[in-house]
Chain A
Amino acid sequence: NAGVTQTPKFRVLKTGQSMTLLCAQDMNHEYMYWYRQDPGMGLRLIHYSVGEGTTAKGEVPDGYNVSRLKKQNFLLGLESAAPSQTSVYFCASDGGRTSKNIQYFGAGTRLSVL
């Protein structure tokens, strides 16, 4: 079982460039999330989705967009990358009661914006 897969694992961008991070889960989970992790800050929620075709803002949504066109995929986009978006990004999925409300995480994407 692959679980939650994030691509790419590493990326370096120049300020102003755009990119999309892909998250795929094979557990048929309804809920999906994007977090960023910065030193000393824990994980902070960027955007999330409670089902196919839905998205909602989390704690730190500015500068990011998301889409959930298919249940198994959750995309995170940076339209114009800024150095402040240098971080490690994690995707997670949750099946609600079917998964005992446990979030399962991908391996993370380390992004550097120069």
Chain B
Amino acid sequence: AQTVTQSQPEMSVQEAETVTLSCTYDTSESNYYLFWYKQPPSRQMILVIRQEAYKQQNATENRFSVNFQKAAKSFSLKISDSQLGDTAMYFCAFMSQGGSEKLVFGKGTKLTVNP
């Protein structure tokens, strides 16, 4: 079974600075998807970024980018120019390609952006 590990339960960063959240996963599959979801205090789960494992190019979405290292099974999220609205729980998630589209989540990293 796949597992997802987020080794940083909590992190903090100053507004306008850059922060990197770590995620590692374990799988024997070669084709899969990886996601970062954000959960602000409102509790709503919001997709931040998506990566397809067969694509070597790292995904980017505005201030959010990933460092995808397939061989190392690592999928870190970099947030540039941090904003107060980035304060949230961040979850890394894994999905096998094909089949039931189930997500396996890490336990999350609580990020606080300080003014």
Contacts and interface: CB of A to CB of B under 8 A. Distances in A.
Interface of A: 31, 33, 40-45, 48, 50, 56, 58, 88, 90, 92, 94, 96, 100-105, 107-108
B47 interface: yes
B91 A31 contact: no
Contacts of B104: 45
**Chain B interface main SS type:** loop
Nearest to B4: A42
A33 B105 contact: no
Contacts of A43: 45, 91, 103, 105
A45 B107 contact: no
B26 to A, nearest CB: 15
Interface stretch (B14-22, B64-72, B94-102): B94-102
B44 interface: yes
B50 A31 contact: no
A96 B50 CA distance: 14
Contact of B101 (A42, A101, A105): A101
Interface residues of B, number: 21
B44 A96 contact: no
Contacts of A101: 33, 50, 95, 97, 101
A58 to B, nearest CB: 7
Given A50-B100, A102-B50, A108-B44, 9 more contacts: A33-B102, A40-B9, A42-B91, A42-B107, A45-B102, A90-B45, A94-B101, A100-B50, A102-B35
- Most A Cβ at <10 Å: residue of B9, B50, B105: B105
Contact of B43 (A45, A58, A88, A104): A88
Nearest to A45: B102
